[in-house]
């Protein structure tokens, strides 16, 4: 188990019971990427300015975006780390040098990857682990200039409503922080929120861009949100 630094520690007095386990951590290997995801990743990476703080979700498209950021400079990553993040740090792409808060550190709430990632985050001063109450806080996100939130969706309708959780009333994914980051990016100086997805699903049989979301679908990000303080 890697020992991470930051505001993510529990004192033993806060724990009622624990069980020792001697097993490898469950890995989350990189998601396979196809030609469509690679093309989307290149396009999205072209919208990311140097010096940005980038938040990505999980899946093939976020993986493709990270792989396409290899030519950027002085980026930081926020919220989630996967194996592709290690490559960006090793190449000098991710430095967190231009952040106004926590300069030189990535503010991370979760890490999902293989042993390579686990070894990377172990006692690494570049990784600042924080609870979701901070990492997802739109006010905290808004203090990061050029914050770029990159997330995917199951469907998006012509009004701009996004669902990343359900198809109609059928829940297919958990509730995440997408809208927290969308809202925070809208308040960040130079920030932008990007919803990236293939235009079709089921091998081209259905459109994922629809006139309106299916009845009963959860709205993950609404069509409009306030940008005032």
pLDDT tens, residue order, the chain (229 aa)? 899 999 878 888 999 999 999 999 999 998 899 999 999 999 999 999 999 999 998 889 989 999 999 999 999 999 999 999 999 999 999 999 999 999 999 999 999 999 999 999 999 999 999 999 999 999 999 999 999 999 999 999 999 999 999 999 999 888 889 999 999 999 999 999 999 999 998 888 999 999 999 999 999 999 865 444 3
Quote the number of domains for the chain: 1
- 51: tokens are 């010096």
For residue 64, the enclosing domain spans: 25-210
The CATH number of residue 88's host domain is: 3.30.750.70
Q: Alpha-carbon distance 50 to 66, whole Å?
A: 14
**Residue whose token pair is 């926020």:** 78
Domain presence at residue 223:
no
Q: Alpha-carbon distance 82 to 116, whole Å?
A: 10
Measured between alpha carbons, how far is residue 26 from residues 58, 92, 118, 156 in Å?
16, 28, 11, 32
Instruction: Dump pLDDT digits (tens) for 170-215.
Output: 998 888 899 999 999 999 999 999 999 999 988 889 999 999 999 9
**Residue whose token pair is 């990236």:** 196
Measured between alpha carbons, how far is residue 198 from residues 32, 149, 156, 201 in Å?
15, 17, 11, 7
Domain presence at residue 85:
yes
Domain presence at residue 228:
no
CA-nearest of 142, 149, 148, 156 to 187 is 142
Q: What are phi and psi of 139, to 5 degrees?
A: -65, -40
112, with CB counted inside 10 A (0-12, 13-18, 19+), is: middle
Domain presence at residue 219:
no
Domain presence at residue 3:
no
Domain presence at residue 220:
no
Domain presence at residue 193:
yes
Domain presence at residue 43:
yes
- pTM score, two decimals? 0.91
């Amino acid at each position: 188990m890697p020992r991470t630094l930051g505001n993510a520690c529990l004192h033993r007095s806060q724990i009622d019971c624990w069980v020792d386990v001697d097993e490898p951590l469950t890995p989350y290997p990189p998601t396979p990427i196809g030609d469509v995801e690679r093309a989307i990743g290149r396009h999205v990476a072209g919208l990311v300015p140097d010096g940005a703080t980038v938040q990505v979700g999980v899946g093939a498209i976020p993986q493709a975006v990270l792989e396409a950021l290899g030519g950027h400079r002085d980026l930081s990553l926020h919220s989630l780390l996967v194996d592709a993040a290690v490559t960006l740090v090793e190449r000098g792409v991710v430095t967190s040098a231009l952040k106004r808060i926590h300069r030189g550190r990535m503010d991370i709430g979760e890490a999902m990857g293989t042993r390579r990632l686990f070894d990377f985050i172990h006692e690494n001063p570049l990784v600042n682990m924080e609870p979701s109450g901070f990492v997802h806080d739109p006010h905290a996100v808004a203090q990061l200039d050029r914050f770029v939130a990159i997330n995917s969706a199951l469907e998006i309708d012509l009004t701009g409503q996004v669902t990343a959780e359900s198809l109609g009333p059928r829940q297919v994914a958990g509730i995440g922080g997408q809208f927290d980051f969308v809202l925070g990016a809208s308040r960040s100086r130079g920030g932008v929120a990007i919803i990236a997805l293939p235009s079709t699903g089921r091998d081209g049989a259905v459109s994922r861009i629809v006139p309106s979301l299916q009845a009963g679908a959860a709205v993950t990000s609404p069509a409009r949100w306030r940008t005032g303080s």
